[in-house]
Amino acid sequence: MNTLQALIFDVQGTVTDFRSSIAQQALAIAGARAPGVDWGRFVDDWRGKYRPALDDILCGRRPWSSVDRLYRSALDEVIETYDLGFLNPEERERINFAWQAIAPWPDAVQGLNRLKARFKIATLSNADVSAVVNISKVGQLPWDAIFAAEMVGTFKPDPRAYEMALRYLGVAAGDAMMVACHKYDLLAAGDLGMKTAFVARPLEFGPQANVDTAFDERFDINARDFLDLADQLDC
């Protein structure tokens, strides 16, 4: 990998622990009014409505929408399911905004700083640009650049998202590596000639979830976390 110049990172799930962060914020807002709610499962159900919405947009079944508004619409549905109708509009917006204040995994900042010493590091998220900026400020994430699929009006795994990031970074596909805990993301990047690094995040959906964390020979690197990734890239 002597020509590798840039690492491009998925954000939600790969860099940040959205489940714990959002569950804590929702609990803080709802307080004692909902003593029986499993807030981790609440977040799971909320997130579960997100990918189908993106797929509907990608295939033209629904018009373009920001991810922030997709989450906000899905939140009302989950609130109804959990019988949380007492949450007023302002509280719902605060819960929704929790997606923009999710904390990094414990290894993320140290690992990114090590990787940044040798490579350009940038995001490529399906979250809105404004959300990634907010997440990065909250978590003190040391990006050289922030990109999001929103910038080309699509979502990953649409190849236009990856091509946009490569173009703005000024690197060829073969000189860049996509880093993600979601295999579909890596496979799409690999189809364009990018190198790929799978980072296992077994707790992305909580301790009881069945998450695919198996190392996979289709990827150039398989890593336990960002510190392991930095070791493997000699950073």
- Please tell me whether residues 91 and 107 are part of one structural domain: no
pLDDT tens, residue by residue, 132-186: 999 999 999 999 999 999 999 999 999 999 999 999 999 999 999 999 999 999 9
Q: What's phi and psi for 120, nearest 5 deg?
A: -70, 135
- Please tell me whether residues 81 and 108 are part of one structural domain: no
With respect to residue 122, please indicate whether it lies within any of the assigned structural domains.
yes
- Please tell me whether residues 29 and 10 are part of one structural domain: no
Domain count, the chain: 2
**Which amino acid is residue 71, in one-letter code?**
Y
Tokens describing residue 166:
């490569």
With respect to residue 92, please indicate whether it lies within any of the assigned structural domains.
yes
- Report the helix count and the strand count for the chain, using DSSP H and E: 10, 8
What was the pLDDT predicted at 127? 96
pLDDT tens, residue by residue, 46-90: 999 988 888 888 888 988 889 999 999 999 999 999 999 999 999
Question: The domain that contains 60 carries what CATH number?
Answer: 1.10.150.240
pLDDT at 116 over 80: yes
* Dihedral angle computed from the Cα positions of residues 234, 6, 162 and 49, in that order, rounded to the nearest 10 degrees: 50
Question: How distant, in Å, are the alpha carbons of 1, 50, 143 from that of 174?
Answer: 9, 31, 21
Tokens describing residue 197:
């690094």
Provide the domain limits for residue 40.
Answer: 18-100
With respect to residue 164, please indicate whether it lies within any of the assigned structural domains.
yes
What was the pLDDT predicted at 51? 84
CA dist., res. 114 & res. 93, Å (int): 36
With respect to residue 1, please indicate whether it lies within any of the assigned structural domains.
no
What was the pLDDT predicted at 132? 98
